[in-house]
Every structure is written in structure tokens, then in C-alpha cells.
Amino acid sequence: MQNDERRALLLERATELFGEHGYDALSMAQIARAAKISKALLYHYFPSKHKLFEAALMAGAIELRERVQPDPTLPPAEQVSTTLEAFLLWVEERPKAYAKMLESAGAREVRETMGQVRVDTAQLILAGLGPDGERPATRAAVFGWLAFLDAAILDWIEHGDMTRQELHAMLLATFAGALIASGAGGAPMVAGQR
């Protein structure tokens, strides 16, 4: 079998399995068994479990980024709203996998990688806030809100008793509230995509 073809196949299968079991409940031996190859061959294509997970994560992140790309012709507040909506739609398509990915963020080996993703996202939002984005309280508020976002989404997925529209409105209002609470003018809410 060709090198690239097999690699792509393995990545696809691994992505699926990670989304089903999470990072630390899934062993390399299991992945190899599911793909009907030896563990050593799996290590031939991916140098470590951490890197394999990263590759699977990045594949998803690229697709997500395309889907939530804000429309720069819209006013800033609209951009935030539609980007958030696109994000929630994306989550709604794969709720269990998203939940497992959030869980996996706590695993020792991938904590730093996932943390970096969050830092990048926060930086994007902060950059859109202009000078307010440099104030420590605003930085903490944006980090806090990203955690709020994920926790609220987990609750949404788990209980299933809210509409996407309700959640969207609550998240958006909380974002504005957090910015105001941090002392930022909260004026030009420019979009931050994920």
C-alpha cells in the first residue's frame, strides 16, 4: 500500500476513535488493532501518540476555521454573532466528539498543545478589541469567557434541554457582559474566529 494513502487512512481512523473514546482512554495498540496493522507500523507513520492526536486535531481545526471565518463586510457585532453561530452549528454536528476533545484537553501529554490553541484563539479575539485587548483584566476576561463557552456547550450537550438559539443569545450577552466587567469599553466588538 502507498505511503500517503495509508497515512491518510490511519489519520481518518484515529480521528474517529479519538472522538469516540478521548485521548487517554485510547491506546496506540487499540488504534493499530482497529486499523489491522502492527503497533510498530503505526509508529512508522506517526512518531508518537501525542503527534498523532495533534494531526487529528489539526485536520478538524482547519475545517472549523473555514466554516467560522467571519465576513469582514459586516459590522463588528454582527461578525461576532455569526461566527459564534457557525461555531455552535459545527459543534451541533458532532456533539460527542467535541465533548471528548474537550475532555482530552486535560490529558497530561496534550495539555500544552490544547492550551496553545486556546491562547491563539484568545489572541485573535483580543486583537479585534483594539487597545482594550492589552489590558490585563480584559485578557483574563477573554480567557475566562472561552472557558465559559466550553463549559456551557458541555452542559448544553449533556442536558439537551436548550435550543441553539437560546444558548447563542446567552453566550453573546455574557461575552459583552464580561468585556464590560473587565472595564473595557465593550464598544467595537470585532470578530474572533476559532
Q: Residues with Cβ < 8 Å from 166, sequence gap 6 or more?
A: none
Residue 38, binding choice from a second copy, DNA, none, Cβ under 5 to 8 Å by partner class = DNA
Residue 58 found at the interface with a second copy (CB under 8 A):
no
- Quick one: which of 75, 130, 177, 188 contacts a second copy (CB under 8 A)? 177
Residue 42 Cα to chain centre, angstroms:
26
Helices (H), the chain: 3-21, 28-34, 39-45, 49-68, 76-93, 95-104, 111-127, 136-159, 164-181
Burial of 75 by CB count in 10 Å (0-12 exposed, 13-18 middle, 19+ buried)?
A: exposed
Residue 182 found at the interface with a second copy (CB under 8 A):
yes
CA distance 157 to 185: 33
Q: Which of residues 16-55 bind a second copy (CB under 8 A)?
A: 22, 24-25
| Cβ density class 30-63: b for 16+ within 10 Å, e for less | ebbeebebeeeebeebbeebbebbbbbbeebeee
The site string for a second copy over 147-176 (x = CB under 8 A, - otherwise) reads xxxxxx-xxx--x-xx---xx-xxxxxx-x
Q: Which is nearer to a second copy, 10 or 184 (CB)?
A: 184
Q: Which region among 38-46, 53-61, 90-98, 178-186 touches a second copy (by CB under 8 A)?
A: 178-186
Residue 8 found at the interface with a second copy (CB under 8 A):
no
CA distance 48 to 42: 9
Cβ atoms 194, 121 nearer than 8 A: yes
Residue 26, binding choice from a second copy, DNA, none, Cβ under 5 to 8 Å by partner class = DNA
Task: Report the interface residues with DNA, using CB under 7 A.
Answer: 1-3, 6, 26-30, 37-41, 43-44, 47-50
Residue 28, binding choice from a second copy, DNA, none, Cβ under 5 to 8 Å by partner class = DNA
Residue 159, binding choice from a second copy, DNA, none, Cβ under 5 to 8 Å by partner class = a second copy
Which residues in this chain contact a second copy in the complex, by CB under 8 A?
22, 24-25, 103, 105-108, 111, 136-137, 139-141, 143-152, 154-156, 159, 161-162, 166-167, 169-174, 176-178, 180-183
